[in-house]
């Protein structure tokens, strides 16, 4: 667990290095960021899973065209609304920069033009592309949800996430479990009982199918039962 935690921390640092770098070495820093994903079994499995059926070409056509109603006809970079598709799109975009399918300088001029200043364009790119990319992954693989201190149910989700993180489950199953648990933590924080019930049900099914057992499953099942009685 400590080793994998360190690899994810490395990825987060590499994101910071991209954002803090000068444009002239940005290509190198993006390459190092992508290499940090490859060194982490968990991150590699996660991005492999979310890009497996992702139609990058269609996403490019939708997200990289002219903005409707813009009299200047300037292109604006937009992102898929779905969080996983947004992560997949940014990941594929970074891969295109790394393999030179897209030229970063030309891309900045086309989508992040800031009065001709490459510095300002790269700053805007970092804030709109790299920063949300880093934050989304950080939230996905954080060790505990924000509400863990005040809600017993959320604390269980945090504890379950730690157990999954340190378990011997294969990476694909870990990613599936973490996706459900992060969505469950978010639903608990928002007080959306119907979503909580659906996600608890899904997680308990996952546990049975994966042959997974932990001390958190019984309380989760009890919580699901209680919510069903209320809704």
Full-model pTM: 0.64
Q: What is the pLDDT of residue 99?
A: 95
Q: Exposed, middle or buried by CB within 10 Å (0-12, 13-18, 19+), for 99?
A: exposed
- Cβ pair 178, 47 in contact under 8 A: no
CB 193 within 8 A of CB 227: yes
Q: What is the pLDDT of residue 230?
A: 72
pLDDT on residue 187: 87
Predicted pLDDT at 66: 57
Please list the ranges in the chain whose pLDDT falls under 70: 1-2, 66-74, 142-152
Half-sphere exposure of 73 (CA within 13 A, CB side): 0
Position 150 scores a pLDDT of 31
The alpha carbon torsion through 42, 48, 50, 51 (nearest 10 deg) reads: 160
**Residue-level pLDDT at 84:** 87
Q: Specify the pLDDT at position 148.
A: 33
Strand residue runs (E) in 79-192: none
DSSP string, 142-163: -SS-TTTTT-HHHHHHHHHHHH
Cα gap 84→69, rounded to integer Å: 28
Residue 170 contacts residue 41 (beta carbons within 8 Å): no
For residue 147, what pLDDT is reported? 36
Residue 15: per-residue pLDDT: 96
In eight-state DSSP terms, residue 24 is G
Would you put residue 73 in left (φ > 0), alpha (ψ -120 to 50) or beta?
left
């Amino acid at each position: 667990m400590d080793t994998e935690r360190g690899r994810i921390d490395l990825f987060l640092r590499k994101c910071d290095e991209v954002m803090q770098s000068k444009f002239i070495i940005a290509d190198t820093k993006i390459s190092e960021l992508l290499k940090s994903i490859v060194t982490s079994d968990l991150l590699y499995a996660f991005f492999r899973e979310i890009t497996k059926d992702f139609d990058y070409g269609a996403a490019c056509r939708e997200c990289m065209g002219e903005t409707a109603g813009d009299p200047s006809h300037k292109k604006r970079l937009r992102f898929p609304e779905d969080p996983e598709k947004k992560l997949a799109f940014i990941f594929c975009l970074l891969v295109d920069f790394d393999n030179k399918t897209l030229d970063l300088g030309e891309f900045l001029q086309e989508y992040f033009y800031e009065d001709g200043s490459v510095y300002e364009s790269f700053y805007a790119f970092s804030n709109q592309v790299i920063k949300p990319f880093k934050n989304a992954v950080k939230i996905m693989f954080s060790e505990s949800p924000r509400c863990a201190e005040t809600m017993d149910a959320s604390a269980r989700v945090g504890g379950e996430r730690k157990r999954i993180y340190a378990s011997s489950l294969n990476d694909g199953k870990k990613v599936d479990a973490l996706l459900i648990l992060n969505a469950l933590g978010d639903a608990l924080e928002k007080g959306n009982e119907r979503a909580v019930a659906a996600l608890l049900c899904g997680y308990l099914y996952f546990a049975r199918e994966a042959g997974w057992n932990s001390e958190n499953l019984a309380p989760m099942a009890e919580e699901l039962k209680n919510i069903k009685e209320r809704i």
